[in-house]
Every structure is written in structure tokens, then in C-alpha cells.
Amino acid sequence: MQTSRSSKQLSSPIASIHGSVSDVELARGLQSGSAWAIAETWHRFAPMVLMTARRALGSESEAEDLAQEVFHRLFRKAKTLREPDRLRSFVFSFVVRVLKSELRRKARGWLSFREPQAFVDVGGEAVDMESRDLLRRFYGLLARLGTKDRLVFALRHLESMTVDEVAASMNLSASTVKRSLARSTSKMSRWIESDLGLVGLWGGKGWDR
Amino acid sequence: MIGSADGSANGRGGQALEALTELARTSARPPTAGDLDGGLQALAARLTGEERRRGIVRRWSMVGATAVAAALISVSWLRLRPPTAAPAAPFALRYTVAGGRIVEGGYLREAGHAGMILSFNEGTEFSLKPGTRARLHSVDSSGVRIAIESGVATFRVTPTVQRHWLVDVGPFRVTVKGTVFSVLWDASTERFELSLERGAVAVTGPLSSGDITLHAGQRLVADVASAEARIFEDKSPGEPAVAPSEPIPSEKPVPRPSPASESRLGTDYRWTRPLAAGRWDQILSEAQHAGLKNILDTASSEDLFALADAARYRRRMAIARQALLAERKRFPASPRALDAAFLLGRVEEWQAAQEARGTQASEASKEPTDVKVALRWYDEYLSHAPSGAYGAEALGRKMILTNKYEGNAQAQPIAAEYLRRFPNGSYAGAARALWRGR
């Protein structure tokens, strides 16, 4: 993915926790290899990365692995950042790249006759057993989507990004994103309706009103 | 919401998809501070291990090896504890030294004339200006302690609750709470400066009875010799930490006490927290609003001391003297009464120094300001608490004043006593010079 295409400012659900050093200063610190900048970058962006990964994968443990990979790649490639004021978008572009490769890896697992894994552990103790079962089935259905469609779906519906933001992040055109969304939404709706177990759980939660 | 623009989400399946998506969106738990710290530790370990594999030359000092051993011991210990009670152990700290090396005793020896940089594997960085003398006391999994014996150093410390970063600067100690700041210590003039760029630090030292908490953009300047300590508001937190220009006192208006604070008068320890937070003007304002005489007659021992400290920091020496005298009069058996004796010596010394300079003290005082009064207070303290918290300071000040006003011969026995009792004290250099001048 070209960094220039992903430099659009992104909305983020998680604010920076250390706001006194600007992104520009931080980016320059990273580019010069300063040790403090590594820690600061982690503290500033890890919440965003972890939340995005947790929602996209449905797994806290997988999200942690993904965050490690994102920051590892980020620090190695920091010198390629051409616009220091776009640090947040630069970080997010790595999230998308790593998510894509992780989802591809999972898809290859399915092609090699293994069951698609939907290891769901988001929410921890805060999520009740029924909801966790629903989530497991939901992520199981998401795993049946193609890599691109799944990622588009996650960014649009789980991250609440606009179609334009999704397009910029994934280096796609807006029309491609819309077609992908239509495809994935249609498939997901159909699968849900045909999943009797899911419908039963869904009814039990009282969400059919 | 999954709208028509996003594809066909109609019917029972569409509604369920919307509900499930909402559930997935809201079920993700934000990472905790522990998650983040653990993640950073793992990342740091990965980066460090990778560097090692690449064969980049990294120096592991004896102290670093000790830190690894300490971490291993702590990990073993944690394994023996019940898993539910064991918090994640912080990973071992490692560091590299650029521009110098660690020699025996933990001293940092500069290799050239460009200063030195200590970089820790969790992101913290100490930058020592050329010519700065420093000593690394300890590095282990629980934190770091370093002493700046002279010169200028900048600290950029990664925030964490798992480690303690302590910086000894001359007779001052800075407890770091995750921040960026610079310190200056001039041992010859006993001048201390701390400029805080961001975060917060707590400073303890001979000029305060408790912590002085500084916030971003504040600069503490302390002159130990004249017992002066002042806080300035730097114009911008981003400015160079040790500004070359003369400091300008803060012009912030003195806040009027609120009705709520008035109602708190008479309650013990009401000024302890404002003092620690550096809200000295608030303390002075409340004391004056309530009536100074009333406060001196009724306030608790801790509050009197807090008032005295606030007054000293703001150079309101007449108020400081009155508060300290009230402390001794009303609470003669308390440990604070002894501390007050030492601090009264500092107040008198400051007053005498102001008069000797021919400058107008910030407040007129009818009290005697002869330096002999200061000496009597130091003697009073030393006779009752020779090993007390201010013992070294009292003896050191007594030595300096005696030398200045009574001559070298009178001061030498005091210098000898100081060297015998406090060979590494902040006045040891002066004491040796006095002793050599026999």
C-alpha cells in the first residue's frame, strides 16, 4: 500500500494518552531512532491499534500479537514517513497491512482443510456467556468472507469509518469499497438468517424487536 | 448503522446483522494500563533481542548484569507466589552509554567533549551536558537512581507505575513521575535548578520540610547558600529547560480564599496538600485572610510548618519566622520544633545576607538579623539533634558562617568535625578546602 494514499486523517475512537509532544515531534524522534520516541509512540497509538484489532479479529490475544507486529514494522519503517504530521495515518496504514496479512493467513488455514478459527475472547468477564456465543458465531461468519471484504466490513462497521476513509486506508476506490460492502452485507445477512442456532440465540437476547 | 448504501441489510437477517455488529463494536474492552505496559515490555524485548542478533555492539555494564540477575530473582520469586496475587514483574532494565562509559563506583566518564547519553531499553533517556559529573548508583527492575554531582542533565523518563526513578542533585532529590525535565547543580555556588518541560516531579531537599511538587512549565531555582528557593512559571513548557535569561518571578495574582476554604480553618493538615502541590500563594492568602495572629495561635503543628515553608518559598521571611517561632512555642516537645530551630537559622541567615547586600528585604523586619542569631539556631539544633535530618546542613552552614565572620581558625575544627561525620556531604568540598588552608 502506498503511504501517500493512506495519509487521509482518520477518525480515532481512542485519544492519545500523552498529548504534550506533538505528532510531528514524535515522528522526528522516531526517524532519528530516539528510544523515548518508541515508548511514546506505543503509549500514544497502542490503544487505537489494540481496539481496532480486537474488534476486527474478535480476539484480545490475537490483537496483542498484531499490535506487536504493527509497531515492530512501524519502527523499522519510520524513516519512510514523508509527512510527519500524518503520523496517526501512517500508524493506521500499518494496522491495515498487518490485519490484511493476518486475515490472509487465516484464510489459507481454511483452504488447507482446517476449520476456520473464530477464537473469540473480546470483552473478557464483562461479556456474558450468551453474548460471547453470539460473538463467536458472528466472527465465524465473518471468517467466511474474503480477506478484502472482511477488512472493508470491519473498518466500515466496527470502526465506524466513512467509505472514503476505508478507501484511503485500503488503497481502494470508493466504488470498490461500496461494492465490497454490499457483497459482504448481503452474504452476512443471508448466512445469519440460515443459521438457526444464531437466530435462536438472537431471539433469546430479545433483539428481534 | 448498516444502511442501504452499505448493501442489502434488510429483513430479519439485516436487523440481526446490525445488532451483532453493534455487539461486536461495544464488546471490545479498552486496553488497561497493565496491558499497555506489558505490551511495551514485550516489544522492547523483541527489539532488543533483534538488535543483539544483528550483532550490533551493545555494552552491558556490571550494573546491567546485576539488573538482569535481579529480574531473574524477582521472576523466580513471583513464580513461587500464588498466581492470583502476583502482578506482572517489570522487565529488567538495560542501558547503553553513548559518549562515555561507566567506571568503578558507577561514575560516568565522558569519552570526549560532547556529553553523554544513557538510553534505557524501555525508552527512558538521560542526556548529560559536556563536563557534567554523574554517578549511576543503581539500575534494577524496580528502577534507577542516579546522582548529578555537578553540571546539567536532561531526563526524558517513560511513565510507568512499576519503576522508581530517583535523581539526586547535590543535596536535593528528585522523584520522577514520568516526565521530561532538566536539572542543573553548581556545587561551587550551591545553586540548583530544575526546569520541568512536562509531567510532574517531586523535589525534596534542605530548603523544604516536605515534597515540592512541580508541574509542566515550572522552574524551581534554589540557592542553598542563601537558603532561597523560588518557583518560576516558564513562558512555554517547550522552551529550553535551563533558560539563559534571568528568571522572572511569577506574576500570578494571589487567589482569594473561597468560602469553602474558610470553613476549613481550624482543621488539621489543611495546608499539607496545597504545600505539596506548590500552591504557596493560596496558603499565604488564606492565612492572611483568617488573620495571621489567629493562625499562629490556633493552627496545628503541621499547618504552622506548612505556612512557614510557603512563606520561605515566597521570601515572606517575617511570616516564616513568626510561624517557626510559634511552632517552637506552642509545640516545644514535637520533632517539628527542632526542625524549626534549623529553619529559623536559615531565615536569619537569609535576612542577614539581604542586609549585607544592601538590598531591601521583601518584608521589613524588626527582628535582629545578626548572623550570630543564625549561628545560635544552628547550635540549638545540633545540640538537640546532631544526627537529625538537618544535622549535616546545620553543621555545614555553621562552618560556612563561622569561616566568613570569625575566620578560618575558628572554622577549621568545625570543618574537621564535618568531614569526620559527613565525608560525602554537600559541604565536604568546602570543609576540605578549609582544612587544607590551615
Question: In the prediction, which pLDDT does B266 show?
Answer: 38
Q: What is d(CA B416, CA B176) in angstroms, rounded to the nearest whole number?
A: 35
Question: In the prediction, which pLDDT does B430 show?
Answer: 82
Q: Which of 150-179 (A) contact B at CB < 8 A?
A: 156-158, 160, 163, 178
Of the two residues A36 and A110, the one the predictor is more confident about is: A36
Of the two residues A138 and B236, the one the predictor is more confident about is: A138
Of the two residues B46 and A20, the one the predictor is more confident about is: B46
Each residue of A53-73: pLDDT tens digit? Answer: 999 998 887 888 899 999 999
A135, A71 in Cβ contact below 8 A?
no
Domains observed in chain B:
62-233 (2.60.120.1440), 259-385 (1.25.40)
To the nearest whole Å, the CA of A114 is away from the closest chain B CA by 25
Q: Which residue from A38, A123, A190 is facing B28, i.e. has the nearest CB?
A: A123
Q: What is d(CA B110, CA A208) in angstroms, rounded to the nearest whole number?
A: 73
Q: Which of 56-115 (A) contact B at CB < 8 A?
A: 58, 60, 64, 67-68, 71-72, 75
Q: Does A4 touch chain B (CB under 8 A)?
A: no
Decide if B43 and A68 are in contact by the 8 Å CB cutoff.
yes
Q: What is d(CA B352, CA B346) in angstroms, rounded to the nearest whole number?
A: 10
Question: In the prediction, which pLDDT does B6 show?
Answer: 60
Per-residue pLDDT of chain B (438 residues; tens, 9 = 90+): 565 556 555 666 777 788 888 888 888 888 887 778 778 877 877 777 666 666 544 454 545 555 555 554 454 444 434 333 333 445 667 788 888 888 777 788 888 778 888 888 777 889 898 888 888 888 877 778 898 888 889 998 876 666 778 898 877 888 886 678 889 888 777 788 898 887 778 887 776 656 677 777 788 888 777 767 777 776 444 433 333 333 323 333 333 333 333 333 334 547 876 776 667 788 898 898 888 998 998 888 888 888 998 888 778 889 999 999 999 999 887 778 888 998 899 888 888 877 776 655 444 444 445 788 899 999 999 988 887 777 888 898 899 888 888 888 889 899 999 888 887 776 777 888 888 776
* CB atoms near residue A144 (< 10 Å): 16
Q: What is d(CA A161, CA A148) in angstroms, rounded to the nearest whole number?
A: 15
Each residue of A153-202: pLDDT tens digit? Answer: 999 999 999 999 999 999 999 999 999 999 999 999 888 877 756 665 55
By CB neighbour count within 10 A (0-12 exposed, 13-18 middle, 19+ buried), where does B92 fall? Answer: buried
Confidence of residue A3 (pLDDT cuts 50, 70, 90): very low
Question: In the prediction, which pLDDT does B265 show?
Answer: 34
| 3-state secondary structure string across chain B | CCCHHHCCCCHHHHHHHHHHHHHHHHHCCCCCHHHHHHHHHHHHHHHHHHHHHCCCCCCCCHHHHHHHHHHHHHHHHHHHCCHHHCCCCCCCCCEEEECEEECHHHEEEECCCCCEEEEECCCCEEEECCCCEEEEEEEECCEEEEEEEEEEEEEECCCCCCCEEEEEECCEEEEECCCEEEEEEECCCCEEEEEEEECEEEEECCCCCCCEEEECCEEEEEECCCCEEEEEECCCCCCCCCCCCCCCCCCCCCCCCCHHHHHCCCCCCCCHHHHHCCCHHHHHHHHHHHCHHHHHHHCCHHHHHHHHHHHHHCCCHHHHHHHHHHHHHHCCCCHHHHHHHHHHHHHHHHHHHHHHHCCCCCCCCCCCCCHHHHHHHHHHHHHHCCCCCCHHHHHHHHHHHHHHHHCHHHHHHHHHHHHHHCCCCCCHHHHHHHHHCC
Question: In the prediction, which pLDDT does A151 show?
Answer: 94
Decide if B44 and A18 are in contact by the 8 Å CB cutoff.
no
Amino acid at residue number B414: I
B126, B154 in Cβ contact below 8 A?
yes
Question: In the prediction, which pLDDT does A71 show?
Answer: 93
Q: DSSP assignment of A126-167, as one string?
A: GS-HHHHHHHHHHHHHHTTS-HHHHHHHIIIIIS---HHHHH
* CB atoms near residue B30 (< 10 Å): 11
Contacts of B258 (CB under 8 A, 6+ apart): none
To the nearest whole Å, the CA of B18 is away from the closest chain A CA by 9
pLDDT (average), residues A69-91:
89
Question: In the prediction, which pLDDT does A198 show?
Answer: 65
Each residue of A36-55: pLDDT tens digit? Answer: 888 889 988 999 999 999 99
Q: Which of 395-434 (B) contact A at CB < 8 A?
A: none
Q: Mean pLDDT in chain A?
A: 77
Q: Which of 37-56 (B) contact A at CB < 8 A?
A: 39-40, 42-44, 46-47
Amino acid at residue number B425: G
The β-bridge relationship of strands B212-215 and B200-204 is antiparallel
Domains observed in chain A:
14-117 (1.10.1740.10), 122-209 (1.10.10.10)
The β-bridge relationship of strands B164-169 and B143-156 is parallel
pLDDT (average), residues A10-34:
65
